[in-house]
Every structure is written in structure tokens, then in C-alpha cells.
A = this chain, B = another copy of it.
């Protein structure tokens, strides 16, 4: 086991800065992990990801399990080599995608039966299979299999999911074969504090290398999410990384870092880029808008990324409207650059001990441009 977490600074606000150490190098936290669903961060090369200082990416176990298959990726030397990315990789367990993408999913004590969203073929995912698949992929950080109820689930359903997820967490721990990959537990409990406490204490008593806050960003209101985040990180050990799964918008990242979260992943910067939606220091922005037709300036005057240094809004709009691949490339590059830059600014603010000030400035700039 070579995975460790170093907590280096805690801002008066509660925001934390630290380092993850893995077999594939070091990661500065708080960190945003670009999503590389099918062993590729859509439209980006590994070299481009490095150029914008991406330090760790996420791969989706569900997709790689179905295509091209974990056995093939293992045979080809693991997912790092497969996709030519030699920095850290976190894999999810596949559970979330089974529930959201798979068809006919049946959850039992033993595991989950589901049909592929691609060809309808039947598959079974248990805690043991989830670990085996992630060990074959060879990620640096594995996630336990959990059950993630939707925001409209009843308290009874959420309670059952908490309990099942704890049992599955224990089975994931037992299923590890000593590859040295880290394993994170996942807290569930919806927006119910008692269930969150139960989930956290169960996980912590088992002892994981890190802890995720799951079951958020599943349809609940932003206020409900923040309400959970006001206490949930505090239920987890100070000396382990805390990962808020599937979140989120820039404002969510800023708020959650302020509440003590260390790690994030989200498809928004990549997916929105493919829809022409850009993130900027003045808030969101749509490249398709007609006022960009002849605009000679960049997406964001303050952004130092190559897209903003080299290309006008007029050109980017032209590419996007004509469905040119380069358009999606350059917009994705900008959005991920923006996210990476935002995380870097937050780390600097935490080390400087002025995170609250950073957050105020960030919000003021957004509000001024609304």
C-alpha cells in the first residue's frame, strides 16, 4: 500500500489543502478530476490534460467493464498504459451507472443484476466483481460498490441503501487482493443527518484509505446539498481525503471546498463544452449566441488558456455552429482549464489562509455579471 494523504494546511474557513501520494505520483488537494468515462477525457489528449495541470482523472468502471472489457485492458497492461496517461487514476465502482444507465437493474444482497445499455446483454456486479474489475484496470484509487438512491427515495429506501452499502463496503475491503491500490468507502444517507451519521460511523470503523460523500447531486436542491455538506465532512476522519462525488458547478466547488471537501469529479466542464456552454470568471456563457458572431475577443479576458490566447469568440462560434471537431476541442480545453485554474486558486488561498476572502471575491464577480 503506497497510498497516503498529507494534510498540509487548514484555512480558518475549514477549507483544507493537502497531497495524495500514489504509485503514479502526487496530487495536490483540493483537486478536480476530469471525467474520462471510456478511458478518454472526451476530446482531450493526455498531453493536453497535463498542459492544463490535470493531476488525476476518473475512469468509469461500468463503461470499461462493458467495452472493451477489463480483462482486455489488464492484458494490455492496465488502463494507464491503455490510454497513455501515467498520472493517477480513480475508478468508480460501476454502481452508479448500473442504476442510472443500465436496464432492468435488480439489486440483491449479493449484488446487482443488470442489462447493458449498449446491447442488452446481462451482467452481474457484486462488491467482489467491482474490486476485481478495478484491480484489472489498475487504477490508483478504487471505489467501493454502493447503492445510491435518487433524491425522491423514501427514508426507508435510503436507510436500506445505507445499510447495504456498509455491508458491500466491508465485502469490498475483504475482496482486495493486495495490489496496493487504495480503496475509498462511500457515505450514503441522502439528506437525512441521522442516516449520514450512521453511514459515516460504519465506514470509519472499517477504515478506508479515503471517504466519499455519495448520494448528492442526484436531484436534490442546492440548499439541501449544502445542508448535508455543512456536517458530512466533519463526520469523516481529518487525516483522510474526502471526495464529493459527481459535483459540480464552479460555485459548488467553491462552497464544498470551504466546507472541507478535498476531491471532486463532474462531467459538466466536458459535457457543457460539447453543448457550447462555457465557464468563465464572470459566470456561464454560450458561444452560440449571435452577439459572438463578429466578436474579436476571447471567451474570457482573464483566462490564460490557449483557447483564450489564440482564438476569437467569432472563430469559436463559427467552428461550433459548423460542428467542427476543433470547436469542441477548444471549448473543452477552455472549460477544463477554467476548472483547473479555479482549484489552483483555491489551493493558494488556503495556503495563504484567506479562503473566505477568495470566496467573497469569486461570488462578487459572478453577481456583478449576472
A residues bordering B, Cβ < 8 Å?
38-40, 42-46, 67-68, 72, 75-77, 82-84, 293-294, 296, 310-312, 314-315, 318-319, 321-322, 324-330
Q: Is the CB of A45 within 8 A of B82?
A: no
Asked whether, in the complex, the Cβ of B325 is within 8 Å of the Cβ of A68, the reply is no
Which among B45, B72, B325 is the interface contact of A314 at CB below 8 angstroms?
B72
Interchain CA distance A296-B329 in the complex, whole Å: 27
Docked complex Cα distance between A330 and B328 (Å): 15
Query: Contact partner of A329 among B38, B45, B324, CB < 8 A?
Result: B45
Would B82 and A312 count as touching, CB distance under 8 A? yes
A293 touches B72 (CB 8 A): yes
Cβ-closest chain B residue relative to A64: B318
Cβ–Cβ contact A315 & B43, under 8 A = no
A39–B82 touching, CB < 8 Å: no
In the complex, A328→B327 CA distance in Å?
A: 14
| Smallest Cβ-Cβ distance to A67: which chain B residue | B322
Shortest CB distance A349–B (Å) = 32
A312 CA / B68 CA spacing, docked (Å): 13
- Contact between A39 and B318, CB atoms less than 8 A apart: yes
Residue on B nearest A72 in the bound complex, by CB:
B294
Cα A327 to Cα B328 with chains together (Å): 14
Quote the shortest CB–CB distance from A81 to chain B (angstroms). Answer: 8
Asked whether B324 lies within 8 Å of A76 as measured between CB atoms, the reply is: no
Task: Give CA–CA (A264, B45) in the complex, Å.
Answer: 29
| Distance A42 CA – B324 CA, assembled complex (angstroms) | 7
Q: Is the CB of B329 within 8 A of A328?
A: no
Inside 8 A of A312's CB, which chain B residues have their CB? Answer: 76, 82
With A72-B294, A76-B294, A82-B312 already in contact, 7 other A-B pairs whose C-beta atoms are closer than 8 Å = A38-B319, A38-B324, A42-B325, A43-B325, A75-B294, A325-B329, A329-B329
Contact flag A325-B325 (CB < 8 Å), given A72-B314, A75-B294, A315-B39: yes
Is B314 within 8 A of A43, CB to CB?
A: no
12 A–B contacts, CB within 8 A, in A order: A38-B319, A40-B327, A42-B325, A46-B310, A67-B318, A68-B293, A68-B318, A75-B294, A82-B312, A82-B315, A83-B315, A325-B329
Assembly CA distance A310 to B311 (angstroms): 28
Taking the closest CB of chain B, its distance from the CB of A110, in whole angstroms, is 30
Collect the chain B residues with CB atoms within 8 Å of residue A76's CB: 294, 296, 312, 314-315
> A82 contacts which chain B residues (CB < 8 A)?
312, 314-315, 318
Chain B residue nearest to A333 in the complex (CB): B45
A76-B296, A84-B310, A311-B84 given; A318·B45 CB < 8 A: no
Across-interface contacts of A324 in B (CB, < 8 A): 38, 40, 42
Residue numbers in B under 8 Å from A77 (CB-CB): 296
Chain B residues positioned under 8 Å from A293 (CB to CB): 68, 72
Contact yes or no, A44 B326, CB < 8 A: yes
List, in ascending order, chain B residues with CB within 8 A of A84's CB: 310-311, 315
